[in-house]
Structure 1
């Protein structure tokens, strides 16, 4: 072991923050002597995972530049072989609480705690004495009342004496009761202040017990000289999540990508190269076991051939992604591990709080749209569409929305690949109102006995505008019609009965109108469609 009692510093130089842990890289320069030697380095976080510890020693060569000496790291030195790492391990030390200071060196806070403790003991004794006195007065009052009852039963009447004794007992009970309430109130205040002072003293004066780790490195060096050490390991109590800030200014939008980093590893990360990864190293990598899935065919019965059983099914239109979880959501990376890097060294204190690290920012043209889906919500939302020009994938995360120079709330950004279109909602508008009414009519035709279900949806859209507004606004209204998957059921949009005719109907059955509203304007939109099914269909 090295005879130097002070360990060699081993600072953190690079960190790769994962979804629920961090990969920490440390580097330093060692002054080695020839032969086998054991060095003590650190301190490091006690949360380091022992089995992930890896150390590598590389040789250093000195190069003269303008009469200055600069050390450069090389994988192979000019002469001889580099030093070899024989063993590396983490040794943890438990540092107990330090001894309390002597009475001569007591601080004002400690003297205040001592005074409060003495006052609390005095108040508790006074409270006990007053309680005992009140109990004694209560028994005395009971004795006087019993004497009055017995004397009245024997025909004795000492009304003046009885009245004096009862008045004296009542006065003393009231007096001692008031003194007891005063003592209890003061005792409560002293107890609360004592708890606060003790907590402040623990934070300010008493050193908590600490678990510290050091690295013991055994190295064999062929010759004396400087050498570079690179050590890496995993550690827990560190994670990150993506965050964004969107600023809408006229027809342009600025999107700032940030990473929110939490870490409580027991040490600070100062001026480190930060890399953010969505790799999930804790997940199992074994493929699932394959099991037999037998398919059998059988003939349909006569009843099954005569009828077609159908049902209405709600299906959400969206992309595949990770299932939502309660609490802190995971990182949605689109199914592929993503890596983001901080453009400059960052510092993240180990206080367990959220720290934002800027990653990238870009400004692009944005297309505004006022959209509403009355079946889901009667609110009209301002939606902004733009292309992802950040150069990297936008992971799903919260977005701080800034509009018209002020904070407008917080939204959610979905996963978007580089260059892909992005849709971002900037909150609802209070100057619009949408009312939806729907009715259904069911008929049966004559000979074919086909069932025809006619559904009519009426939308009433109104705009409340200020005195200075003069321009028209276009609101995109979206409704849906069913999409049939069987030939026995037909869905038909009655364009002649719709008012106005829809501007677009896509393959998923989404019907869209672009409704222009002037200031203070009102519009009525009607949608009519039919579901026609043969007599074999049941369940419609």
Structure 2
């Protein structure tokens, strides 16, 4: 039989852990070193964390060639007096004070014993000196100078240690009084809580003796443990590569430390019911429109986020307010498919409730960096790196620490990115650039046709304040124009009032300018477009 603990139980340490979104599945292994004789045996394993979920507990016996079955397995919880020693971090200040005074009292009593022993030795020395003086004087071998020197030195040491002993006794008396008062206050204020501990009782029925080295495997769920993905991205100085470190941040407060455990991180949601949601009634009403309403089409400007598969979606101007709120490590976004990530080596994870970062994988990916500006969203010019996920695994949504040549530049968010999908990260602003934006709008309605023409002119002023020897930098400026969803409204780019001409306009209305600015260079961009609506459209 394996060596038992102080509680008389067989040790059953945690060997493997699968961390879920809001709980953990723990695997334990108990080794029966001496085997078991034939018959029915009740074994107590543990201790285990008291937060273990009873209904999730299951056991399996690994004993090749042995005819043995597990008849029963259950959790047993006990309240025991707290162990001797320093109080825990959750103890009250008064309890900590009592512990400190008790430790001080023990140290003072040890000093008292040592000082008393020195005083006793000095008193014995004085007695020996007096006897030596008497015997030498009777024998006629007087030596007054030696006797005086030895007596003076012995009396000085005896007086010094005697004074130290007196002061120490006074301090012990004061400390004993203070400790008694503190203990009385503690007894009146609170009661020492009992400690909850848990064990696993297993009933094994063996038809024949179990061989030496048989193992018992226990698996159960435990709350107060979770994980979230996190990343660290470092952009190279030339912007052609991106070093991406994929980590898992894990917390646990299950009541027991995990030492040398094989950790796995799963996105499975075991608590979600596999049933479709209840559908509510959707009532549709038909309302007759007036002849005037039939002639009029009401349109309005609608803001729509451009959704794509893979990119971070923060835009070239940096993280949005929504992504900034997501930096608090929300639920794991796995793209709708359960994922399992495995730590490359065993991990020690203490039960302290603090986040611990565990490295999972790292890769250096080819990247393309550019300085990008979206004046409508921000007056900053940011450095954006675009890359494809060639790490061989999906990138779950999570915060990412951004690092470039100047060091840590901030924290962003990496959205869910499939294998081979594109992604982008913003690595902070380039402070040598200044961007200003102004918009002018005019509205004209033709009396004959009733058409409404809205003319808008967007002016952008881009300047760079850098040392004279600074190298020129290429900047991509993106502005947008509305995109019409109906034929009664037409949006047209006015090339005559646009200077310089943009590089192009995509289907989403994003206008792109490619500029190169040297030190102390300034550029002015003018973008004009018209929105034309027919008589039947109210804008």
TM-score bracket relative to the smaller structure: 0.7 to 0.9
Q: 1:34 pairs with 38, 45, 58, which one? A: 38
Alignment deviations for residues 206-237 of structure 1 (CA, whole Å, 9 cap, x no partner) = 99742111000011111112332111011011
* Equivalent residue, structure 2, for 1:501: 501
CA RMSD of aligned residues (A): 3.2
For 1:261 and 1:475, locate their aligned partners in 2 and report how far apart those are by CA, in whole Å: 40
Alignment deviations for residues 515-540 of structure 1 (CA, whole Å, 9 cap, x no partner) = 211222111111111110111111x1
* Equivalent residue, structure 1, for 2:466: 465
Q: 2:11 pairs with 6, 9, 12, which one? A: 9
Structure 2 residue 76 is matched with structure 1 residue 91: yes
Which residues in structure 2 correspond to 1:43-62 (within 5 Å)?
Answer: 43-60=47-64
For 1:350 and 1:396, locate their aligned partners in 2 and report how far apart those are by CA, in whole Å: 26
Residue pair 2:3, 2:10 contacting (<8 A) in 1 also: no
Structure 2 residue 219 is matched with structure 1 residue 232: yes
Judged with a 3 Å threshold, the aligned counterparts in structure 2 of structure 1 residues 325 and 208 are, in CA distance, closer, same or farther, namely farther
For 1:98 and 1:536, locate their aligned partners in 2 and report how far apart those are by CA, in whole Å: 84
For 2:57 and 2:11, locate their aligned partners in 1 and report how far apart those are by CA, in whole Å: 17
For 1:287 and 1:269, locate their aligned partners in 2 and report how far apart those are by CA, in whole Å: 38
* Equivalent residue, structure 2, for 1:337: 338
* Equivalent residue, structure 2, for 1:529: 529
Judged with a 3 Å threshold, the aligned counterparts in structure 2 of structure 1 residues 47 and 111 are, in CA distance, closer, same or farther, namely closer
For 1:273 and 1:207, locate their aligned partners in 2 and report how far apart those are by CA, in whole Å: 36
Residue pair 1:98, 1:207 contacting (<8 A) in 2 also: no
Judged with a 3 Å threshold, the aligned counterparts in structure 2 of structure 1 residues 222 and 347 are, in CA distance, closer, same or farther, namely same
Judged with a 3 Å threshold, the aligned counterparts in structure 2 of structure 1 residues 442 and 515 are, in CA distance, closer, same or farther, namely same
For 1:535 and 1:486, locate their aligned partners in 2 and report how far apart those are by CA, in whole Å: 14
Q: Secondary structure at the match of 1:313?
A: coil
Question: Cα offset for 1:290?
Answer: 3.7
* Equivalent residue, structure 2, for 1:252: 241
Question: Cα offset for 1:506?
Answer: 1.6
Question: Cα offset for 1:108?
Answer: 7.0
Judged with a 3 Å threshold, the aligned counterparts in structure 2 of structure 1 residues 108 and 454 are, in CA distance, closer, same or farther, namely closer
Judged with a 3 Å threshold, the aligned counterparts in structure 2 of structure 1 residues 304 and 13 are, in CA distance, closer, same or farther, namely same
Which residues in structure 2 correspond to 1:73-472 (within 5 Å)?
Answer: 77=65, 81=67, 83-97=68-82, 109-110=101-102, 209-226=194-211, 227-249=214-236, 250=238, 251-291=240-280, 293=282, 300-318=289-307, 328-404=329-405, 406-470=407-471, 472=472
Residue pair 2:327, 2:398 contacting (<8 A) in 1 also: no
Larger mean CA deviation between 288-297 and 494-503 belongs to 288-297
For 1:319 and 1:96, locate their aligned partners in 2 and report how far apart those are by CA, in whole Å: 59
Residue pair 2:327, 2:412 contacting (<8 A) in 1 also: no
Query: Gaps spanning 5+ residues in structure 1: where?
Result: 61-76, 115-192
Q: Secondary structure at the match of 1:335?
A: coil
Query: Gaps spanning 5+ residues in structure 2: where?
Result: 87-97, 107-177, 314-321
For 1:252 and 1:327, locate their aligned partners in 2 and report how far apart those are by CA, in whole Å: 28
Residue pair 1:459, 1:525 contacting (<8 A) in 2 also: yes
Question: Cα offset for 1:51?
Answer: 0.7
Q: Secondary structure at the match of 1:280?
A: coil
Q: Secondary structure at the match of 1:286?
A: coil
Deviating above 3 A after TM superposition, structure 1's stretches of 4 or more consecutive aligned residues are 2-5, 97-101, 106-109, 111-114, 206-209, 290-301, 319-328
Aligned length: 430
State the TM-score, normalizing by the size of structure 1: 0.74
